[in-house]
Amino acid sequence: MAEKRVLITGGAGFIGSHIVEALNSAAWQAEALDNLSTGSPANLPSGIRVNVVDIRSRADVVRLFTENPWDAVVHCAAQTSVERSMKDPEMDREVNVTGTLYLLEAANRHLLRHPASVQRLRTAAAGRC
């Protein structure tokens, strides 16, 4: 049984699924958060839990963090299509800016309730995880 739980947002996508695979080990139990808009559970090793949540829903993000004692979060959920961002910049902002803000809020609240728990939130939004 792994000692710590790590949540990888966008875990069913390209970068996130590789991070899930790399982190899942005897020391870490890796889980994914993904709305499966472009990602797929088929990208993940078998047995990985996928929390199907859209980060644009503040209520769903808060509920997920309230129910789960994460030790760390790696943020890779993103709208990554340049074509789509040109056609619908508002949707791009909702996912990449507002969704990231909701994750930070939820992680921060969780940290206040479990000070020894969440240690850091890494984001890929700036181009690296």
Ligand X SMILES: NC(=O)c1ccc[n+]([C@@H]2O[C@H](COP(=O)([O-])OP(=O)(O)OC[C@H]3O[C@@H](n4cnc5c(N)ncnc54)[C@H](O)[C@@H]3O)[C@@H](O)[C@H]2O)c1
**Cβ atoms of 55 and 95 closer than 8 Å:** yes
Smaller CB separation from ligand X, 36 or 113: 36
- Residues 69 and 5 sit within 8 Å (Cβ to Cβ): yes
Could you say whether residue 61 binds ligand X (CB under 6 A)? no
With binding defined as CB under 6 A, does residue 121 bind ligand X? no
The Cα 70–Cα 24 span in angstroms is 14
* Size of residue set near ligand X by CB under 6 A: 26
13 is a contact residue toward ligand X (CB under 6 A)? yes
Q: CA 72, CA 2: separation in Å to the nearest integer? A: 13
Name the residues that contact ligand X, by CB under 6 A.
Answer: 10, 12-16, 34-39, 54-56, 76-80, 95, 99, 124-125, 127-128
